């Protein structure tokens, strides 16, 4: 029987709590650990993501997913985006630090409810969707504890949508509003996210870090019908790391067939293919 263990961490720099959970089959034996990072406007329990956790748990992994601290969710809240002030104050450095804090917690017995005997942290793998894909690439480039990485529909450049005219108006007003296409809710982004990117560009340059500082095996997964992030992003990442494996999912959309809420008991077929191929990729790295 699978165990679902929830826990909360508190950001060391910003002091904001953020939730995480782990899914695994307890048997007292060390298992490879997969950490999953959601994308922009996403969260750990979006749509079919809990089914992904069960998929990996049933196949002998410990699957850990987190809510990035400033994604707009509140610990103990509605389970959807509700803290717009936090959303506006988010930036890429905060997200990388959140992920790093989670990895540190997994390596510190007693910090999470996970028994150390269940974890093989020599086999620590990262998976990221969309913007989360860029985050796991950047984190792996700076953290040698990561054994391998997989990206699902990842962006290749953090500032890819920042048109100069938009930047100028954004700087003038201090705030940019982006729509949540799922709910119609307008979401604020404060200009500080641009300033953070400019101040930490060497750390946040995805393609440069993949090309120069990513020794780990890499699987790039992208749908050829992605309506949000063009397939060209996957090809750009592979050009930066030619040894990477590339899986192009036929008719694969940005969410690989998923939606929120997800009504069914099974993964959508494209997501099941992605999960299976990712699990196989990680198993080959053992």
- Distance, in Å, from the CA atom of 249 to the CA atom of 171, rounded to the nearest integer, reads 38
- Distance, in Å, from the CA atom of 184 to the CA atom of 168, rounded to the nearest integer, reads 25
For residue 279, pLDDT beyond 80? yes
The dihedral through the CA atoms of 262, 260, 137, 96 has a sign that is negative
Query: Closest by alpha carbon to 52, among 138, 180, 150?
Result: 150
- Distance, in Å, from the CA atom of 2 to the CA atom of 103, rounded to the nearest integer, reads 22
How many angstroms separate the first and last alpha carbons of the chain? 24
For residue 267, pLDDT beyond 70? yes
pTM of the model: 0.98
What is the overall mean pLDDT for the chain?
A: 97
For residue 163, pLDDT beyond 90? no
Per cent of the chain over pLDDT 70 is 99
Confidence of residue 160 (pLDDT cuts 50, 70, 90): low
Q: Take residue 182 and report the two structure tokens written for it.
A: 């799922």
- Distance, in Å, from the CA atom of 284 to the CA atom of 34, rounded to the nearest integer, reads 14
Confidence of residue 255 (pLDDT cuts 50, 70, 90): very high
Q: Take residue 120 and report the two structure tokens written for it.
A: 């093989």
The dihedral through the CA atoms of 98, 65, 281, 234 has a sign that is negative
pLDDT confidence of residue 159: 79
Helix/strand/coil for 178:
strand
Residue-by-residue DSSP string for 129-156: ETHHHHHHHHHHHH-TT--EEEEES--S
- Domain residue ranges of the chain, discontinuous segments joined by +: 3-158+201-284
Average pLDDT (177-204) is: 95
Q: For residue range 82-118, what is the model confidence (pLDDT) as tens digits?
A: 999 999 999 999 999 999 999 999 999 999 999 999 9
pLDDT confidence of residue 76: 96
Average pLDDT (66-85) is: 97
- Architecture of the CATH domain 3-158+201-284: 3-Layer(aba) Sandwich (3.40)
Average pLDDT (206-218) is: 98
CB atoms within 10 A of CB 18: 23
Query: Closest by alpha carbon to 62, among 106, 18, 100, 94?
Result: 106
Average pLDDT (243-263) is: 97
Per cent of the chain over pLDDT 90 is 97
Helix/strand/coil for 188:
strand
Q: For residue range 130-155, what is the model confidence (pLDDT) as tens digits?
A: 999 999 999 999 999 999 999 999 99
Average pLDDT (177-185) is: 92
Q: For residue range 23-56, what is the model confidence (pLDDT) as tens digits?
A: 999 999 999 999 999 999 999 999 999 999 999 9
Taking each continuous run of H as one helix and of E as one strand, the counts in the chain are: 10, 10
Is the separation of the CB atoms in 254 and 224 below 8 Å? no
Cis omega (within 30 of 0) for bond into 261: yes
């Amino acid at each position: 029987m699978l165990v679902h263990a929830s826990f909360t961490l508190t950001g060391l720099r910003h002091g904001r709590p953020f939730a995480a959970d782990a899914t695994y089959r307890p048997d007292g034996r060390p298992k490879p650990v997969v950490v999953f990072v959601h994308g922009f406007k996403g969260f750990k329990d979006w749509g079919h993501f809990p089914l992904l956790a069960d998929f990996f748990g049933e196949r002998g992994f410990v699957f850990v997913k987190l809510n990035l601290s400033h994604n707009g969710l509140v610990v103990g809240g509605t389970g959807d985006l509700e803290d717009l002030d936090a959303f506006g104050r988010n930036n890429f450095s905060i997200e990388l630090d959140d992920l790093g804090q989670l990895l540190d917690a997994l390596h510190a017995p007693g910090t999470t409810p996970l028994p150390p005997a269940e974890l093989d942290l020599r086999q620590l793998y990262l998976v990221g969707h969309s913007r989360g894909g860029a985050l796991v690439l950047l984190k792996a480039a700076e953290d040698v504890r990561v054994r391998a990485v997989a990206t699902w529909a990842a962006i290749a450049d953090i500032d890819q949508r920042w048109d100069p005219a938009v930047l100028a108006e954004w700087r003038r007003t201090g705030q940019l509003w982006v729509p949540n296409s799922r709910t119609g809710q307008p979401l604020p982004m404060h200009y500080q996210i641009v300033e953070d990117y400019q101040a930490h560009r060497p750390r946040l340059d995805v393609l440069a870090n993949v090309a120069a500082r990513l020794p780990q095996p890499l699987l790039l997964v992208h749908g050829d019908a992605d309506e949000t992030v063009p397939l060209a992003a996957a090809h750009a990442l592979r050009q930066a790391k030619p040894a990477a494996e590339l899986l192009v999912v036929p008719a694969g959309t940005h969410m690989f067939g998923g939606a929120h809420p997800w009504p069914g008991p099974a993964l959508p077929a494209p997501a099941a293919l992605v999960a299976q191929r990712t699990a196989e990729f990680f198993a080959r790295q053992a």
